[in-house]
Amino acid sequence: MDRRLNLKEAAGRTEPWDVVVIGGGATGAGCALDAASRGFSVLLLEQQDFGKGTSSRSTKLIHGGVRYLRQGNISLVRESLRERGLLLKNAPHVVHKGAFVIPCYSIWEKSFYVFGMKLYDLLAGKHSIGSSRALGRAEVVEKLPNIHYDNLKGGVIYFDAQFDDARLLIDILRTAETHGGVLLNYCRVTSLMKNRNGMIDGVEFEDLEADEKFTVRAKTVINATGIFSPSVQEMSDPGSSPRITFSQGVHLVLDRRFLLGDSAIMIPKTSDGRVLFCIPWKGRVLIGTTDTPVGLPTLEPQALESEIDFILDNAVKYLSIKPTRGDIKSVFAGIRPLIMKGPAAKTSSLSRGHELLVDASGLVTITGGKWTTYRKMAEDAVDKAAAVAGLDRRNSVTASLPIEQPANSEDDTALDSNFAITRGEIVRAIRDEMARTVEDVLARRTRILFLDADAAIRLAPRVAEIMAKELGRGDVWIKAQVAEFEVVAAGYAPGFYSKGNH
């Protein structure tokens, strides 16, 4: 993916694109791949880096959603389990099966979850990836050596899938490019153009690196901007009332010693009635998440002190080595776009299903949903957009389309003893994956910021120097990049919270 060439192609094209996609998260990337692989010409515009929004901040689960089963949302669970099966087949390099154990502290609880997980198995049908079963106390301790075992009565094991969200996103985009899609990061859509009949026929966007504006023509425009979708709907239909509401979720990342073994823990009922996961992830443990209503969407949300306390308070009940604030390696927050259907008491009770809207000017907005269902969301959005624009009828092919693996980077010396980041990997991230800033490399092309914020801050000057050489930048750029990264990374660093900065 070469940004300079892509910008030239976007700016130089006089013909309308079949599809312009706004937003470079999971949903937009999925739409670009779906449209490009059907043979449509497609341009995707992302205002910041790919995945800067919610799509790099998930719990990293490709799952049916045990919680949605409890809420009785059977169709969402069934659809998600089907998509899980497709992702395991189409992207095995980045999505893998994982074992999840529900520890039970009463016999009644154990019977309840054995029954519930059998239903989950049943809903997976031919996409099942392993049967759930009851575990005795000793088996639970064998799978989760650090489980709190006073009064433990046994548990239930079931199987779901885990992934690296930002990595899958980049690989979906690279696959879209192989099929002819043109992708641009750091390009913000600032307005929508309309023809004499009031129908959208193009977009105006700004290249944020060069402060330059461009217009492109489009037969149809898909708004896949997640929590920002109301602002794009507003460009099309001023005064339109937003249909989504926002809820923040926080994760803590800890050293692996807090969760030994290969299995994850699924805590079925936290003090606020949600589920909480403790998951082995890239040599660390990921614990989350929360569900806190927030007023305004933002690209760099920050955890509340109360959310960190909530996660620690619930996790310590299940772990024999009790984590404290001092053990946190990184804290990250993301915001969910949730569809509002009338007044709901709690954001956690709102559906994680997706919704397609077409306004009077033909703007196709796709909102809500889950990472797990990104492919199906994209298929539905492109079907709708093609119908609105009167494009040729072509069926989606993504259900059986393999997602490309990252190209090999030149092997050379690791820059850090704890993380396998190399000069070659940074160069590859720039040349093949459009990384433009130190944050792009440390937060999303590698996940070091999410795994250990202090280590990422230490690495930033070396990464900036290597990037500057590759991008033809000088000392001023290096200094500015390090300073900018430090501001963002401070929000992930546990010290930021313990010092009461928030």
Ligand X SMILES: Cc1cc2nc3c(=O)[nH]c(=O)nc-3n(C[C@H](O)[C@H](O)[C@H](O)COP(=O)(O)OP(=O)(O)OC[C@H]3O[C@@H](n4cnc5c(N)ncnc54)[C@H](O)[C@@H]3O)c2cc1C
Binders of ligand X in range 180-199 (CB under 6 A): 188-189
The upper half-sphere exposure of residue 291, i.e. CA atoms within 13 Å in the direction of its Cβ, equals 19
Distance, in Å, from the CA atom of 308 to the CA atom of 313, rounded to the nearest integer, reads: 9
Report whether the peptide linkage leading into residue 398 is cis, meaning its omega lies within 30 degrees of zero.
no
User: Is residue 230 near ligand X by the rule CB under 6 A?
Assistant: no
Provide the minimum distance between the beta carbon of 351 and ligand X in the complex, in angstroms, as a whole number: 12
* 47 binds ligand X, rule: CB under 6 A: yes
Q: End-to-end distance of the chain based on CA atoms, in angstroms?
A: 38
Question: By CB under 6 A, is residue 162 in contact with ligand X?
Answer: no
Footprint on residues 283-342 left by ligand X (CB under 6 A) = 289, 334-336
Q: Contact region for ligand X (CB under 6 A) — 152-160, 226-234, 263-271, 355-363?
A: 226-234
Give the Cα separation of 10 and 212 in Å (integer): 13
CB of 96 to ligand X, least distance (A): 14
Size of residue set near ligand X by CB under 6 A? 37
> Which residue lies nearer to ligand X by CB, 81 or 140?
81
Q: Which string of x and - marks every residue 14-33 that binds ligand X (by CB under 6 A)?
A: --------xxxxxxx-----
The secondary element (H helix, E strand) that includes residue 337 is: strand 328-339
From residue 166, how far is each of 27, 52, 100, 163, 289 by CA, in Å?
13, 9, 22, 9, 18
220 lines the binding site for ligand X (CB under 6 A): no
Q: Give the Cα separation of 398 and 86 in Å (integer).
A: 9
Burial class (CB in 10 A: 0-12, 13-18, 19+), 240: middle
Residue 149 CB, nearest approach to ligand X (Å): 28
d(CA 10, CA 54): 26
**Which one, 66 or 135, has the nearer CB to ligand X?**
66
> What's the chain's length in residues?
502
In whole angstroms, give the CA distance from residue 194 to residue 391: 18
Q: Is 370 in the site for ligand X (CB under 6 A)?
A: yes
Q: Is 371 among the residues that bind ligand X (CB under 6 A)?
A: yes
Q: Is 429 in the site for ligand X (CB under 6 A)?
A: no
Residue 280 sits in the site that holds ligand X (CB under 6 A) = no
Closest CA relative to residue 63, chosen from 205, 156, 162, 149: 162
210: Cβ contacts below 8 Å, ≥ 6 apart: none
Report, in Å, the least distance between residue 266 CB and ligand X. 12
Among 338, 85, 350, residue whose Cα is nearest residue 230: 338
CB of 356 to ligand X, least distance (A): 12
Residue 347 touches ligand X, criterion: CB under 6 A: no
Give the residue, chosen from 17, 100, 113, 228, that forms a contact with ligand X under the rule CB under 6 A.
Answer: 228
Minimum Å distance from CB 474 to ligand X?
Answer: 28
Distance CA 320, CA 313 (A): 13
Q: Does the footprint of ligand X cover residue 55 (CB under 6 A)? A: yes
Q: How far is the CB of 301 from ligand X (least distance, A)?
A: 9
Considering only 53, 154, 155, 362, the residue that binds ligand X (CB under 6 A) is 53
Residue 86 interacting with ligand X (CB under 6 A)? no
Residues contributing to the site for ligand X (CB under 6 A): 22-28, 45-48, 52-55, 57-61, 188-189, 224-228, 232, 249, 289, 334-336, 369-372
